[in-house]
Amino acid sequence: MRVQRIRPSERFFVTPFFESLAPTMDRQVRDVMTSDVVATAGDATPYEVAQAMVQERIETLPVVDRDLKLVGIVSEDDLLSQVNFPHGKILDGLKALFGQGDRRLEKAMAQRVEDLMSREVCTVTPEDSLQRAAELMIARHVRVLPVVDAEGRLVGMLLRRHILQAMLQWSERQQPG
């Protein structure tokens, strides 16, 4: 297999490849998502979440309530926000300067994941097409989408890698011989 840089004038190489993947992109999220999901509760500490992310080699953890309903998502970026500000007296001075409502300060001081997580989460359902999922990922600049059922319960996760794997598998089946 060759990987090469494609210049805009060489679109003939790119366009037929992706147009030929239409049957793959019509597949449903359930066909490629993972249902083996590591999730966290909102009362977990940032340390516990960071530890789980490192152990599981994942960048993002969904945050669920007792009924497994998705309430947020926490990423490595969220956790790294805790190192952006010094703690102690300097942080107290920043609070006075910026005010209590500054989200950066809230994240820097968070003792629980629910104070650190993103609450507005873009999701898909198992019945959604891979096309819709890919469009959401691109439009929202996300690498992972939680998959939820009709009641909002977490049933899986869809990564960009899952979509790419499906595209490659379909493409390889189309190769002659």
Domain-wise residue ranges, the chain: 27-174
Domain 27-174 CATH superfamily: CBS-domain (3.10.580.10)
Of the candidates 46, 75, 84, 81, the residue with the CA atom closest to the CA atom of residue 140? 75
In the numeric block, the tokens 């060489």 are attached to 10
Query: Does residue 133 register a pLDDT over 90?
Result: yes
Tell me the pLDDT tens digit for each residue of 151-174. Answer: 999 999 999 999 988 888 766 666
Residue type, 18: F
Q: What is the pTM of this model?
A: 0.72
Q: What is the pLDDT of the chain when averaged over all its residues?
A: 76
Can you tell me the distance from the alpha carbon of 18 to that of 6, in angstroms, rounded to the nearest whole number?
A: 14
In the numeric block, the tokens 């969904």 are attached to 62
| pLDDT at residue 1, as a whole number | 37
| pLDDT at residue 168, as a whole number | 82
